[in-house]
Amino acid sequence: MNELILNLKEFNFLPKEKISFDVSWQLDNIPKKIEVRLFWYTKGKGTEDSCVAETCIVDHLSDRGNKSVYFTLPESPYSFSGKLISLNWAIEFVVKSPDKCIRKEIVISPIKIPIKLY
Amino acid sequence: MRIIGKIFLTLFLLVFFSMGATFCVFLGKTIYKRAVCYSWQKSDCLIESVSVIENAEKHGDTPYKIDLKYSYNHNGIQHQSDKVMIDSRNQYSYSDAVMISSKYKVGNIYNCFVDPHYPDRAILEKQSIWHIFFMLIPLIFLAIGAGGIYGVWFIGEKTEEKRVISDSAVSSKNAGNGVFVIFLIIGISIMIFGFIRPIVGIIDAKLNWQAVECDILSSDIKTNSSSDGTTYAIDILYSYVFNGQEYVSNKYDFMGGSSSGYSSKRKVIEQYPQNSKRICFVNPRNPRIAVLNRGISLLIFILGVFGFVFAVVGFGGIRHFNKDNSIKTSYDPVRNQRKSALRGFNQKNFISRKGPVILTSKLTPMKNFIGILIFTLIWNGIMFFISFVDSGNIFKALISFPIVIFATIGFLLFVPVVYCFLALFNPRAKIEINSTDFILGDKICLKWKFDGNTSNISRLDIFLEAIESATYRRGTDTYTSTEIFYKKSLIETINSFEIKAGSCEILIPENTMHTFVSSNNKVLWFIKLKGQVKNWPDINQEYQVNVGPRKF
């Protein structure tokens, strides 16, 4: 059984805030890659864009383990929601072979909620 | 994806698939036919007769065929054949037919190649199969079509939870890349074979070929009727003497071929009546090759333009997709952390400046006018050319546009041309602001001053505006939608003194979105100036400003 856990307690942050959380995994075999990515992506009418801001790579691959992850959130772009597009930040815990992924959405903005454009 | 969307996408991909499959089949059959001959057995053959005769059916500028008969012995049985090559329709221009047939003398023995399974079949020459490499092009079409259809119906769509969204940011291959590679290959091929090679040949002819007097033996127009319509080709047969030897040719110019447009070809024929003497131009390195007209035909330029457009589209598309794919953050190998990549604002296209700055606009009235004028001239030029080629007469062309709707659009395009031309005479405002690089919560201090006569400006508006912009694709078309989410007036006035020059300030709100630019989605801030002019095009000036995030 393949299981990933991303232990994030808070989901709303200010730009440049330092965050830390734990991840743990239990897999049927030793994977090829284990990474935790902080990234933003767009949703809405326009074709999806995305960009990874930070990545934490697990060096010593094993079929089970845990790791503390530390990210410094960037200054921008803010999470926002408009009539046409919205921008969301998220943290993805990604394992390759076996392919598994768990994602938690977060908000980065000066008011700790997505900026509304309407 | 909904079932209707899947069906439409499948139909679209079927076009790619069927184009690729059709070309693969045709090209594959030709290559197979030729390749099989390489396994045929060599035998001696005796040439019994050889001559060049005119085809009973007229075939444009290749109305001659080689009448060649030879005999050979295979396993003790005598056979006869008349085939020179396996894959040939036996249609040539006169000089090509003479060139091939002159290799074989009656009574001489040559090698021929016999099909071991059907000894009645034999050829004198094997043909090359190097153009097997051209199979790559239809195979790409085939792969895109088949792969796309398979993906649409058989690859399960991942739900949002299962999809690894960040994978597309880490590395992404875009199928569009493949399509644009095809455009680039086709464009370069057309430019090389349809433009550059003929041009090089023509330049060589102009510099090195020798002018020789020739006798016009016959002068006519060949008609070629097919389901697509009737086309005509110039067919002038002439003889000339070069270095004491007599030659015959029927090449009029370098392009040859047949096309619609009878009257233009009739004019050419009238210049070369039968039994007259004219000048032809002979290739001194191969005197069998000669032409009557060594000028550049319009077709060569058209092919050059087509090839160029295809190549530019292909190159631009490849650059665009690879630019997207190359957005990667840099690695810091220490502590397994990447350097934070502040993406979302493309600094490359925006020069931020502090201190009083005179704003400049990317789009000026002159650029608008030139742009719409060029487009109008190209559109109407193409329509006129199509009509002129068809009718062969400039006056008929003006009144006989074959494609009425496109011609009407071309005519209507002159309206914005006139509008943009009149706008050139409007006064322009110089706008000075305290910076082009703001952050949320900053104050914009702005001064304006009009050059020229402002007495006709009835109202002036200057405002700060912010928009969301979303670009998306439907099929092969790209669309961009915009939505204004912030608009605040800096000045609205009808006072002529205030219109002429003035200053104002505005505070950028704090809790809104800063400038954001990614490939398909944007948030942009503008300062816009609009001047209403009585009975004349309005003044519209627009300047993009950078509004960055608040400092933390």
**SS3 sequence of B409-430:** HHHHCHHHHHHHHHHCCCCCEE
CB under 8 Å to B170, separation ≥6 — which residues? A37, A52, B328
Cα–Cα distance for residue pair A43/A80, rounded to 1 Å: 10
Task: Give which of B324, B309, B311, B307 is closest to B176, Cα–Cα.
Answer: B324
Residue B323 has pLDDT above 60, yes or no: no
Higher per-residue confidence, B338 vs B406:
B406
Residue B475 carries which side chain, given as an amino acid letter? Answer: G
Predicted local distance difference test score (pLDDT) of residue B372: 85
Mean pLDDT, rounded, for B250-261: 76
Is residue B433's pLDDT more than 80?
A: yes
Per-residue pLDDT at B550 exceeds 60: yes
The residue with greater pLDDT, B413 or B334, is B413
Indicate the range of B158-167, B498-507, B508-517 predicted with least confidence: B158-167
Contact (CB<8Å) B483/A59: no
What integer best gives the mean pLDDT of chain B? 80
The reported pLDDT for the residue numbered B421 is 86
The pLDDT value recorded for residue B155 is 65
**Cβ contact, residue pair A101, B338, below 8 Å:** no
pTM: 0.60
On the question of pLDDT at B454 being above 70, the answer is: yes
Q: Given B340, B481, B516, which is nearest A74 (Cβ)?
A: B340
Q: Which residue of A15, A47, A117 is in closest CB contact with B471?
A: A47
pLDDT value at residue B59? 54
Instruction: Tell me the β-bridge partners of B469.
Output: B482, B522
Kindly state whether B325 is in contact with chain A, defined as any CB-CB distance less than 8 angstroms. Answer: no
Q: How many percent of chain B have pLDDT more than 90?
A: 25
- Would you place residue B60 in the very low, low, confident or very high pLDDT band (cuts 50, 70, 90)? low
At residue B347 the predicted structure's pLDDT band, cuts being 50, 70 and 90, is very low
Where is mean pLDDT largest: A85-99, B1-15, B150-164, B418-432?
A85-99
Residues of A in contact with B549 (CB under 8 A): 15, 75-78, 110
What is residue B326's predicted lDDT score, i.e. its pLDDT?
34
For residue B329, give the nearest of A52, A57, A117 by CB distance: A52
8 A C-beta contact, residue A38 and residue A89:
yes
Tokens of B192: 């090389």
Q: Which segments in chain A show pLDDT lower than 50?
A: none
Residue in B339, B468, B472 to test binding to A, most A beta-carbons within 10 Å: B468
Per the model's pLDDT, the better-predicted residue between A93 and B3 turns out to be A93
- B448 within 8 A of B462, measured Cβ to Cβ: yes
User: Is pLDDT larger for residue B12 or for residue B224?
Assistant: B12
The interface predicted TM-score (ipTM) is 0.94
- Phi, then psi, of B411 in degrees rounded to 5: -70, -45
- For residue B437, what pLDDT band results from cuts at 50, 70 and 90? confident
Q: Is B457 exposed, middle or buried (0-12, 13-18, 19+ CB in 10 A)?
A: buried
Task: Please indicate if any CB of chain B lies within 8 Å of the CB of A107.
Answer: no
Concatenated DSSP letters of B427-467? --EEEEEEESEEETTPEEEEEEEE-S--TTEEEEEEEEEEE
Q: Which of A87-96, B86-95, B195-204, B335-344: highest mean pLDDT?
A: A87-96
Top mean-pLDDT range of B9-13, B359-363, B454-458: B454-458
Please report, in angstroms and rounded to a whole number, the separation of the first and last CA atoms in chain A: 45
Say which of B337, B473, B521 has its CB closest to residue A56.
B337
Residue B335 to residue B200: CA distance in whole angstroms: 60
Judge whether B53 and B67 are in contact, CB under 8 Å: yes
Which 490-519 residues of chain B touch chain A by CB within 8 A?
A: 510-514, 516, 518-519
Task: Determine which of A37, A49, A87 to mutate to test the interface with B (most B C-beta atoms within 10 Å).
Answer: A49
- Specify the pLDDT at position B548: 93
